Amino acid sequence: MTLRLRRAGHVPRVKLPEVRPGGARRAIELVGSDGRGVGAAALERGALVGTSARGPLLVIDPEATTFVPGGWSASGDGHGCVVIERL
């Protein structure tokens, strides 16, 4: 027996809201896995629009907080997408 399924129809387009560039950026201290303090940046997601930042840092958003460890960088686009890459 062979069963084939085909769906026909329209898929709604997804439109991501734009994130305004800018936002607060401040220095903080995190506690590393060895118990020692580590200097880091804490910035709002909008502060990454069109730029990048090296970890360690926290990217703060109303719905989530993203930790970017040392040796990694984070960059952002106008829709609020954050790309994290190893340096």
In a domain, 4, yes or no: no
Q: What is the mean pLDDT of residues 78-85?
A: 86
Asked if the structure places residue 11 within a domain, the reply is no
41 lies in some domain: yes
Establish if 37 belongs to a structural domain.
yes
Query: What is the domain count for the chain?
Result: 1
| Residue span of the structural domain in which 59 resides | 25-86
Q: What is the pLDDT of residue 22?
A: 83
Give start and end residues of each alpha helix (H) in 18-66: none
What's the token pair of residue 6?
């085909």
Q: How far is CA 71 from CA 30, 64, 86, in A?
A: 16, 22, 6
Q: What is the pTM of this model?
A: 0.72
Residue 32 lies in a domain: yes
| H and E: helices and strands count for the chain | 0, 7
Give the pairing type, strands 37-44 and 82-86: unpaired
Decide if pLDDT at 78 tops 90: no
Confidence tier at 9 by pLDDT (50, 70, 90): confident
- Run of H or E residues at 87: none
- The structure tokens listed for 10 are 């329209």
